[in-house]
């Protein structure tokens, strides 16, 4: 018995000694087994019929129980975040081997390498709680205090504040606190009002840019959860997720390679190294967040998300800079500087004139007494007068410098970006908004942009026969087709039990072929996959236009090569074909020509032609391993041809016609063959009936590539369609067009389109089919992949430019009128009719409210009637000079009449006269704001009911003006006006409308106005 017990106890001791080399899951199983073993051993001892004394003695000498130190894990899952993070960051292969590879890690994370995580709401929430969410901390957004502080950095504002403070001090000292604070206090309040409005406006725009940044970072990622492949937001990815990666994708989190082929990753964003890194299950199964898939495809297991990744740590220190200066803003800065210099000169002259008149005793106070009487005048009075004169001069500078121009651009761009989001276009670079208005050529893709990207197999050929009934296909041929479809694909199939139907995932072409094979040919994808093992894969890309796979049949140990791709390219690789009965036949020249005619016939019907080919690898090549290194590309046997229909988008023809009407050439660049390309281009209106037979209008990429540089430059304008093009051909065309002076917009969706997107003046990537590489290289993302949205972006580009011109015309009218009236009045009467507070109020109306009203006009079809905006054309056109000079001249004339004859005309005192001048001046701007809505069209009220913001701002301006005149007498230095005087002010201001209407009948020359001044 003692021997038995000794054996049992030694066995228990051995069991309790858990080897340290075991993984955590294995340790837990080991301890559970030990617990069961010990309990059974003790139970057998207690029930063994030996002598009671011996058993009691033996049992008493041992403890009455066994304590097992089974420590529960601190978290829900069997592995901690620190281990996972260090595993990938340090590329620790030894640790990965200890964890039994990616499968062991998946097991520890309670995930499945095939079916992913459970995906229930509680499961996802638990993982987020334990491992964090896939978001990273952003630097704190700028508060409104920051923008207030920025506004205080303006030198003119600081000078005004200094003058206001001095005026406040001297005024209180001279007239007491009750009366003396008005002048200085009014200026202070007006300045703070201007600063507040400016700061709030900039703060709101900054918040909008932050929101756009969040939207642009919200990438859709393919994952499998509970066996179902689905798309989720990158922010919803959790540790344990199984993610599908393909060419052009951004790796959404740190993780481990599970399965895939030919995966190469661009880690330059992390390491700075431009060479691609191969990722596989052997030496390098580690994938890093933020890197890009350059080739191949794979599934990965997510091990770290958000701030636990290197990318997350790096991105948390980077914030989007909304202060990017666009070319238009740079041009406006120059314009602002030029106007500012003129304003500064006028202000200086006014300052000198006012000081001279004051110190020579030519100015009088409100009682008609001379303000300066030599030594009799108190120092405080002199200082107060000088400060008042300086404040008036500085205020003229404030009004003259059009600070509203940069604000107007920011408002216009921000508003346009917001509205363009609603119109399915997300702007990544501000400059693209305005550049699009200058676009002269659009190079567009076909698939998904001009077409719906809803593909369906409509034609099926075996040999030289069109097959209508799939039941007649021979068994061996059906198996070959199913192999080629099920194994040579990046798509997948999921049976949805609740809906009793299949769900197909992958690219539109892959989904079309998979649904055809399953629903028409009865393919069981899982069964086919289980019978074969994949040896090597060549993934599809837009240059090769084909994909290949090398497989081994498990039961027979035979190796087969399958190819799928563009029909004429696969056909060129074939030397034989299967006929409809399944017999293999050699392909002679006549057969090849017949197949070419079949392909051309399908292409002429706007079908995309895909071919399948096969070759069995001879046994002698198995042992050499030659077949395992490279897939055979010659002597293939053609299995089948399919034609896939992708209908044109509704309204795409109308969108193309709109672009052409707007003077923008539309060119289609596609990878499809020349017959499909010609058919689609004719259907969309890119090719006219006469051009369909014109060989110069349609060219293949290879032919274009082989032209000499001189030939390319000569023919590029005539080309409307480029078929069978590679990304390099697209880049070459963009370069040629730019050399010829075109402003080029290019659409692209593939990784290889990135160079052309970057080279173009405006890069437009596709939001649905576009890869992350393409999106990052683009300026604007077309969210619905629709060409009609491209045409909308074109309209918005012109609208941005047009809105800026409207505001320039409006502001310069005010500037010219304010400068002239103040200078003439100062030089002749020794005073300025508009006080500092009144000028600041006018400045507020112009800069902020005016910008907001005119910057938010929606685009109209009339914009398409004009030619593209030349990038070097003057900002202020002859039409604008005509409009603004007419209005400014009228305003100056009216205000000077009021200045010199206002008292006698209305029978009022000087104070009321000055109020009449101020009121008329402001109301002139209100009425002129309507004129500024249309630069050329005579009806300025057309569509005004659609712009509620414009009407609202006009209403607010009028209400505030009434308050300024009638209620804020001391603050605004005004007198109340009666109904007759208000009617006179409104009548004089309303005359701006008929004047504006008449002026537009005056023709203007094409030569820029300022060029007439050059000798």
| Residue count (the chain) | 1015
Cβ atoms < 10 Å from Cβ of 73: 12
What's the half-sphere exposure (Cβ side, CA atoms, 13 Å) at 685?
A: 15
Contact 746, 734 (CB under 8 A): yes
**For helices 992-999 and 979-990, what crossing angle results, to 10°?**
10
Query: For residue 101, what are the contacts with CB-CB under 8 A and spacing of at least 6?
Result: 281
**Cβ atoms of 256 and 303 closer than 8 Å:** yes
**DSSP secondary structure, 417-475, as one string:** HHHHHHTTEEESSHHHHHHGGG--EEEE-STTTTB----EEEEEEETTEE-S-GGGS-H
| C-alpha distance from residue 912 to each of 9, 387, 407, 904 (Å) | 113, 24, 34, 12
For the chain, the maximum distance between any two Cα atoms, rounded to a whole number of angstroms, is 138
Could you give the CA distance from residue 286 to residue 909 in angstroms, rounded to a whole number?
86
Please report, for residues 281, 453, 757, 801, 811, the alpha-carbon distance to residue 869 in angstroms, rounded to integers and kept in the order given: 55, 33, 21, 8, 21
Distance of CA 496 to the CA centre of its chain: 34
Strands 721-723 and 698-700: parallel
401-418 burial code (b ≥16 CB/10 A, e <16): bbbbbbbbbbbbbbbbbe
Contact 605, 678 (CB under 8 A): no
Alpha-carbon torsion angle 577, 582, 585, 587, nearest 10? -20
Going through 687-743 in order, the beta strands assigned E by DSSP cover 698-700, 721-723
d(C-alpha 800, C-alpha 322), whole Å: 17
CA distance linking residue 607 with residue 610, whole number of Å: 9
Which are the contacts of 506, defined by CB distance < 8 A and separation ≥ 6? 489, 490, 491, 492, 514
Structure tokens at 738: 């730019």
Instruction: List, as one string, the DSSP characters of 134-161.
Output: S--PPPPPPPHHHHHHHHTT-HHHHHHH
Contact call for residues 888 and 813 (beta carbons, < 8 A): yes
Pairing type for strands 636-645 and 277-278 reads unpaired
User: Which two tokens mark 214?
Assistant: 């969040």
CA dist 96 and 397 (Å) reads 70
**Is residue 413 within 8 Å of 433, Cβ to Cβ?**
yes
Rounded-to-integer distance, Cα 587 and Cα 574, Å = 8
DSSP 745-772: EEEE-SGGGHHHHHHSSEEEEETTT--H
Options 254, 295, 445, 779, the catalytic residue? 445
For residue 248, how many other CB atoms are within 10 A of its CB?
24
SS3 237: coil
Place of tokens 């066994």: 66
User: Could you confirm whether 154 is annotated as catalytic?
Assistant: no
Contact of 286 with 298, CB cutoff 8 Å = no
Active site residues: 445
């Amino acid at each position: 018995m003692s021997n038995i017990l000794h054996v049992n106890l030694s066995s228990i001791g051995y069991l309790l000694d858990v080897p340290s080399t075991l993984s955590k899951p294995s340790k837990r199983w080991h301890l559970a087994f030990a617990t069961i073993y010990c309990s059974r051993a003790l139970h057998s001892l207690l029930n063994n019929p030996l002598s009671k004394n011996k058993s009691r003695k033996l049992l008493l000498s041992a403890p009455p129980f066994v304590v097992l130190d089974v420590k529960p894990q601190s978290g829900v899952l069997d592995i901690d975040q620190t281990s996972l993070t260090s595993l990938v960051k340090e590329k620790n292969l030894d640790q990965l081997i200890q964890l039994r590879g990616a499968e062991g890690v998946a097991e520890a994370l309670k995930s499945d390498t095939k079916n992913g995580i459970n995906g229930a709401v509680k499961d996802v929430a638990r993982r987020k709680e334990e491992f964090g969410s896939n978001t990273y901390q952003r630097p704190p957004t700028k508060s409104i205090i920051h923008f207030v502080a920025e506004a205080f950095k303006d030198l003119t504002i600081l000078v005004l504040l200094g003058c206001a403070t001095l005026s406040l001090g001297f005024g209180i000292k001279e007239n007491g606190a009750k009366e003396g604070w008005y002048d200085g206090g009014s200026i202070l309040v007006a300045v703070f009002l201007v600063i507040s409005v400016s700061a709030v406006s900039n703060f709101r725009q900054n918040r909008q840019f932050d929101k756009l940044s969040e939207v642009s970072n919200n990438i859709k990622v393919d994952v499998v959860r509970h066996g179902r492949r689905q798309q989720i937001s990158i922010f919803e990815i959790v540790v344990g997720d199984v993610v599908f990666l393909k060419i052009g994708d951004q790796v959404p989190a740190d993780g481990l390679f599970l399965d895939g082929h030919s995966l190469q990753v661009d880690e330059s964003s992390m390491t700075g190294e431009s060479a691609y890194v191969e990722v596989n299950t052997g030496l390098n199964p580690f994938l890093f967040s933020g890197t890009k898939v350059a080739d191949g495809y794979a599934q990965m297991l997510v091990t770290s998300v958000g701030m636990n990744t290197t990318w997350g740590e790096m991105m948390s220190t980077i914030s989007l800079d909304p202060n990017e200066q666009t070319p238009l803003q740079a041009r406006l800065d120059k314009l602002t500087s030029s106007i500012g210099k003129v304003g500064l000169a006028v202000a200086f002259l006014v300052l000198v004139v006012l000081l001279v008149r004051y110190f020579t005793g030519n100015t009088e106070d409100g009682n008609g007494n001379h303000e300066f009487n030599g030594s009799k005048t108190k120092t405080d009075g002199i200082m107060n007068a000088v400060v008042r004169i300086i404040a008036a001069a500085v205020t003229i500078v404030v009004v003259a410098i059009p600070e509203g121009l940069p604000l107007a651009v920011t408002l216009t761009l921000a508003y346009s970006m917001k509205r363009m989001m609603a119109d399915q276009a997300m702007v990544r670079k501000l400059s693209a908004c305005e550049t699009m208005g200058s676009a002269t050529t659009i190079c567009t893709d076909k698939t998904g942009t001009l077409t719906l990207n809803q593909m369906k197999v409509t034609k099926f050929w075996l040999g030289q026969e069109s097959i209508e009934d799939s039941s007649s296909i021979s068994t061996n041929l059906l198996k070959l087709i199913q192999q080629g479809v099920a194994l040579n694909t990046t798509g997948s199939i999921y049976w949805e039990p609740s809906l009793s139907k299949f769900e197909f995932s992958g690219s539109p072409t892959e989904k079309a072929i998979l649904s055809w094979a399953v629903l028409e040919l009865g393919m069981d994808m899982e069964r086919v996959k289980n019978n074969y093992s994949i040896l090597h894969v060549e993934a599809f890309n837009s240059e090769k236009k084909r994909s290949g796979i090398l497989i081994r049949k498990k039961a027979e140990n035979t190796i087969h090569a399958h190819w799928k791709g563009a029909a004429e390219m696969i056909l060129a690789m074939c030397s034989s074909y299967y006929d409809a009965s399944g017999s293999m036949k050699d392909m002679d020249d006549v057969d090849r020509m017949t197949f070419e005619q079949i392909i051309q016939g399908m292409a002429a019907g706007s079908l995309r032609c895909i071919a399948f080919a096969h070759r069995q690898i001879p046994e002698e090549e198995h042992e050499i391993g030659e077949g395992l290194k490279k897939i055979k590309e010659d002597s293939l046997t053609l299995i089948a041809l399919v034609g896939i229909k992708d209908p044109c988008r509704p309204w795409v023809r109308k969108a193309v016609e709109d672009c052409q009407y707007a003077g923008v050439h539309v060119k289609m660049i596609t990878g499809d063959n020349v017959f499909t390309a010609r058919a689609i281009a004719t259907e969309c209106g890119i090719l006219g009936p006469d051009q369909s037979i014109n060989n110069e209008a349609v060219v293949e990429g290879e032919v274009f590539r082989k032209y000499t540089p001189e030939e390319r430059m000569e023919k590029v304008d005539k080309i409307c369609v480029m078929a069978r093009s590679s990304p390099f051909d697209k880049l070459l065309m963009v370069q040629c067009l730019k050399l010829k002076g075109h402003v080029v917009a290019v659409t692209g969706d593939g990784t290889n389109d990135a160079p052309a997107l970057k080279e173009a003046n405006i890069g437009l990537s596709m939001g649905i089919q576009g890869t992350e590489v393409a999106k990052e290289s683009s300026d604007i993302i077309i969210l619905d992949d629709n060409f009609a949205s491209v045409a909308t972006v074109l309209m918005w580009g012109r609208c941005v430019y047009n809105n800026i011109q409207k505001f320039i015309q409006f502001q310069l009218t005010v500037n010219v009128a304010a400068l002239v009236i103040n200078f003439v009045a100062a030089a002749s009467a020794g005073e300025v009719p508009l006080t500092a507070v009144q000028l600041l109020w006018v400045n507020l109306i112009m800069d902020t409210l005016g910008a907001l009203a005119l910057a938010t006009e929606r685009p109209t079809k009339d914009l398409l009637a004009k030619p593209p905006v030349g990038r070097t054309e003057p900002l202020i056109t002859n039409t604008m000079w005509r409009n603004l000079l007419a209005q400014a001249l009228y305003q100056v004339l009216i205000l000077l009449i009021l200045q010199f004859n206002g008292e006698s005309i209305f029978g009022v005192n000087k104070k009321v006269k000055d109020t009449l001048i101020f009121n008329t001046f402001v109301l002139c701007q209100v009425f002129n704001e309507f004129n500024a809505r249309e630069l050329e069209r005579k009806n300025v009220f057309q569509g005004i009911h659609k712009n509620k913001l414009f009407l609202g701002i006009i209403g607010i301006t009028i209400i505030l003006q009434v308050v300024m005149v009638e209620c804020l007498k001391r603050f605004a230095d005004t007198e109340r006006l009666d109904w007759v005087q208000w009617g006179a002010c409104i009548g004089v201001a309303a005359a701006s409308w008929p004047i504006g209407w008449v002026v537009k009948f005056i023709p203007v020359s094409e030569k820029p106005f300022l060029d007439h001044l050059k000798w």
